[in-house]
Structure 1
Amino acid sequence: MQCHVGHLVCSSCRPKLSCCPTCRGTLGNIRNLAMEKVANNLMFPCKHKQTGCRVSLGLNEKAEHEEICEFRPYSCPCPGASCSWQGQLEKVMGHLQHVHKNITTLNGEDIVFLATDINLPGAVDWVMMQSCFGHHFMLVLEKQEKCDGHTQFFAIVQLIGSRKQAEHFAYRLELNGNRRRLTWEAMPRSSHEGVASAIMGSDCLVFDTSIAQLFADNNGNLGINVTISVVC
């Protein structure tokens, strides 16, 4: 962008300025096409360079890359929590252990995720951490009440890590009891992907109240067998 005299202002700074920083003249929305043409022939580092990204891109590709860059800040992975924390990947577990202390962590590649009181009314989230293979996985069971009164449960696993790391693992969720078995297998979601979109698209273990009652005990507790495996 440029002022009416021709002084240049980058698009990032333009929204923060009320006048030209050089001549104090009025700033409009005048594009400098000559400089844009020059910029399109240059390579620019990703804005997440300081946190590890080594990619350089053309101006027309930069914004799109930065939206999905693996080195962009991670959000708090807790579902249903109004937590606005953001930080680097290596600080996510520290945040969870310091702020979300009520989340239990179990060690091992095979564990039982016990969701208690599944008959509680309304929308409810159950969350647990699983530690194995040098990584942490977040196990989520979400109960949703639809507007028609129909209740559904969504179970999913998320790796506290990047998508590239998640591609090396698979998880299996299994409801087992009363000579019945319900199983779901998939690649865990990454921290950047989160679980919300997968739940919205039913890309996880989905079952309704009647199915839940087949596997729950008399106290309304539901055990989900969780197995994490390494994919070669």
Structure 2
Amino acid sequence: VNSIEIYPGDGSVFKSEGAYLGKYFTYYSIQEGSEEREEKTYSVNNLPPDRPGSLFSVYSLIKQATGILQHCAKTRLSLSHNYRICCWKMVPGINDSNILPVLLRESVIPSVGRFLAYSDDKVHALFLDGITLTLNWNFSSLTEKRQVNQGLNLGWCKLTFPDGQDQLIQIEHPGPYERYVTAVISWCRRLTQTSQREMSTHPSSSVLEENCFCFAMSS
């Protein structure tokens, strides 16, 4: 899921707002005995302390909801490829090969690593220093030029370190991991741009499977 709603039990509701796991939560409540509606916005990074006598903890509720959203993001970034397979979607006799995504593109970039793009819009990069990065990129968004990170359909990526530990990294603020994020997004952009040019020239060609290019990652 990309959003979440919290119902504390008193008739009010918290709704996550904004991209990237919900940067804000908006609180909606109707006062008893009147039609007056109360509306507040809480920032996930600046939650208020608990007040004595409150029926519930705003801090605790929003932190738990954010944890659920992070778990969903990690699941979507998992390479197990089974996050879309649900028991209620399964059909007897279904061919599993039709469910699992296929590898569309693979590039080995000298002194950088190995980059792979899958048919479920997942991109997986294995860097030479042992760090791997996974993000979702919509390769069908070929004409969106107004967005800096065109095609990016999840505002977070997952870094897996050599010791097996995972960490979610916000694309807009990658911090010390900027060079990893920049390398993968640059690869995705060039793949997308090349696909756009080739689709205009050869509409029936499978561009992601045919084109090859390399680029250098700055240190």
TM-score band, normalised by the shorter chain?
A: 0.3 to 0.5
TM-score w.r.t. structure 2 length? 0.35
TM-score w.r.t. structure 1 length? 0.34
More strand by share: 1
More contact order relative to length (CA 8 Å, sep ≥ 6):
1
More helix by share: 2
Q: Work out which of the two has the higher radius of gyration on C-alpha atoms and give 1 or 2.
A: 1
